[in-house]
Structure 1
């Protein structure tokens, strides 16, 4: 039997976010099928580990639901079963966003089953999903963003490598709007100081170049010249940003940093690195950047994703109008 690696199975259970480990109740053929699907996602589609975990978690949850209905052969998977799975999540209080994501995972999975000849027709092709609520992400005002970086810079005045690093990371996050995963994945040679651009490997392993400004450039220069040598160890490798032990910094450390520094800004919303990404995009649009340029800078595959930020700027404009105009 070809089974998933134990470490992967544990992550599948976590990603499914349902009580109990779903894989424990799967039949042997279903476990084998899940293993084949994992290899497809990793080897053929070359998806990022986080995306693979999410897909496996959702599909594992679906197969567990099938087992509870007495379906132990994937050929019996039909549209009614898929709909009952989504309906069960709705009755247990899952959000629209979660249900929509799992519906997408089911469609990708059944398309793979059909394409590989495991099922005669693709039931997922007719599966609908609820529209996700478009929530307006909290963003910082320009003065709050400046205060955020200034609070970190004040703490870095003692010249410690960690303080210098923190300023450089905050400057780069706000200057470029890159994702936290993209930030921690940067290597030293991804920084082109002469042209003031950073080479980023984004979702789907798509590479893009993102410009950054003079303040971020100064912070990066100081980090590379003074800060990084103080943390570098034999196993540091080419990683741009290092943790206190000299290894590549992880995403959790960056998130903790942003939340700590945000707490120093009076009245600012509690945002993480993704909030800085939202903030950068919003400020670009408010400053006159066109939507296509912002899409390219952020690495969005679809313009519809970038258009969310137009709602953010319109909402801010509406609030300003209501507060200022005598006949609002």
Structure 2
């Protein structure tokens, strides 16, 4: 059978059994593709710039995918099966990864594989199930800790101090603050356009944020934004030196992100409802904000009032009953009898 016959849909004697007067069978090689296999690292190189914007998150994802490729021993695949995923998760857990860390790594892998499947590079995906995360303790700065830490930072860098104040009063992420330009600041409000969730938001500024947002009078060209003179690495280095100096060096939770936790905690403790806190922080889902809900202790104060309502003393209860319990029981028994006697007398009078 020739290629021309296949393309024209003319069946040969070999396929005569499949033909009839009212139907024709058309054969084509156009949709036959060579099955290829890829490493996870190769897929990431192909799609990383499409799936992730430049920044710290992309850097973290690159580290995640690199570790996964290492654990898979550079294996090439055309289908990513469930057993491979389960073994990968098990290995990460043996390495001491928490469920929260595993979820972040699997989210990056899932996003990459789904893109590869859409592009036809792989033809089968496993089911990615989110691991159950435990709600850990949220660390935030007390007022005196903030004062000591910020004073030490100010002695080292005025720009780092201004950024610290802005972070704790706005609750924004470090990358969001560093990405601000002057056009994002209008009157008494600041807008964040480059966010982790991809959703922009605008919040009002506190009085001290309005002060630190201003650049000190210096010679030279004004930078692009209020904090663009600093990089993340520079700020973190200053932060780590300052926290060690004030005696917080051993606390691994005292990182720049603690300023975001501190802002959220103060909002909730101050009586701001959880939905407004979500809008302020720019959380994509309310479940993220609910981590701080337990700090709204004022909402439970009314429960104490109910529980502490004065109860009558035992002596007061006895004074209210003129009869002892035995007499009261006897009275309860005689009252129905007296009522029955009165009722019979009435009926007898009626007959008379």
TM-score, normalising length: structure 2: 0.63
Task: Pick closer, same or farther for the CA change 1:91–1:149 going to 2, 3 Å.
Answer: closer
Tell me what 1:182 maps to. 176
CA offsets 1:28-59 (integer angstroms, 9 cap, x no match): 9535x64454443423x353433333334333
**Separation (CA, whole Å) in 2 of partners of 1:56 and 1:36:** 12
Tell me what 1:307 maps to. 290
Tell me what 1:58 maps to. 64
Is 2:124 the partner of 1:121?
yes
Tell me what 2:319 maps to. none
**Separation (CA, whole Å) in 1 of partners of 2:289 and 2:295:** 11
Tell me what 1:7 maps to. none
Task: Quote the offset at 1:251 in angstroms.
Answer: 1.0
Structure 1 or 2: more helix by fraction: 1
SS in 1 for 2:121: coil
**Separation (CA, whole Å) in 1 of partners of 2:236 and 2:207:** 24
- 8 Å contact kept, 1:59–1:109: no
Structure 1 counterpart of 2:113, from 107, 110, 130? 110
- 8 Å contact kept, 2:153–2:239: no
Task: Pick closer, same or farther for the CA change 1:118–1:200 going to 2, 3 Å.
Answer: closer
Task: Quote the offset at 1:176 in angstroms.
Answer: 0.1
Task: Pick closer, same or farther for the CA change 1:312–1:260 going to 2, 3 Å.
Answer: farther
Question: Which of 105-114 and 287-296 deviates more?
Answer: 105-114
Is 2:163 the partner of 1:169?
yes
Task: Pick closer, same or farther for the CA change 1:169–1:183 going to 2, 3 Å.
Answer: same
- 8 Å contact kept, 2:190–2:203: yes
Structure 2 counterpart of 1:92, from 82, 95, 109? 95
**Separation (CA, whole Å) in 1 of partners of 2:142 and 2:254:** 12
**Separation (CA, whole Å) in 2 of partners of 1:167 and 1:104:** 35
Tell me what 1:138 maps to. 139
Tell me what 2:38 maps to. 30
**Separation (CA, whole Å) in 2 of partners of 1:111 and 1:200:** 27
Task: Pick closer, same or farther for the CA change 1:280–1:203 going to 2, 3 Å.
Answer: same
Give the total of aligned pairs: 264
- 8 Å contact kept, 2:165–2:212: yes
Task: Quote the offset at 1:204 in angstroms.
Answer: 4.5
Task: Pick closer, same or farther for the CA change 1:174–1:64 going to 2, 3 Å.
Answer: closer
- 8 Å contact kept, 2:43–2:116: no
Tell me what 1:258 maps to. 239
CA offsets 1:55-85 (integer angstroms, 9 cap, x no match): 34333443444447xx52333x210111111
Task: Pick closer, same or farther for the CA change 1:298–1:78 going to 2, 3 Å.
Answer: same
Mark the structure with the bigger radius of gyration: 2
**Separation (CA, whole Å) in 1 of partners of 2:115 and 2:163:** 40
**Separation (CA, whole Å) in 2 of partners of 1:57 and 1:219:** 35
